[in-house]
Amino acid sequence: MLCRRIYTLVNEPKEIIGKGVLKVAIKYLEALNKLIDETNIKAEINSIIETKHFFSGAALYHNQKLCASLSPVGLAFKLADDEVESLINSGKAQALRYFPTGHIKKGYALFVDPDLSQIALWKTYLLKANEHV
């Protein structure tokens, strides 16, 4: 396959993000990388995917565009607006907010407290998110 995977841990200054925050970010980066390995999405994607940490979580990028994230708020996917609306209306997902009083990130479905062992379910959403961006 032409697909290759790049996992990145950016070396940001500790005084900016703090040691505790970095530990949290690494935890989510490792969990997201494991999910990607277990779903084997690389076999179905013909371009580069990359994971990076951000302050307290990790994100998956496809062709340098954010398509999924794993953080303390849950597992979020960038999906078509109608699918996001359907998931939220059905109660399966919530609107994504990184902070309780923050704005809603449009186009994202958030699965709160996800069971990461549901490999087939998350594979479906990872592939949809990769196709969407």
Q: What is 5-132's CATH topology? A: Aspartate Aminotransferase, domain 1 (3.90.1150)
Side chain identity at residue 36, one-letter code: I
- pLDDT confidence bin for 1, thresholds 50/70/90: very low
Total-model pTM = 0.82
Residue in 110, 126, 118, 53 with CA at minimum distance from that of residue 76: 110
Dihedral of CA atoms 28, 110, 37, 30 in degrees, nearest 10, equals 0
- Burial grade of 44 (CB within 10 A; 0-12, 13-18, 19 or more): middle
Phi, psi of 111 (to 5 degrees): -100, 110
Given a cut of 80, is residue 17 above it in pLDDT? no
Q: Which pLDDT value is given to residue 20?
A: 59
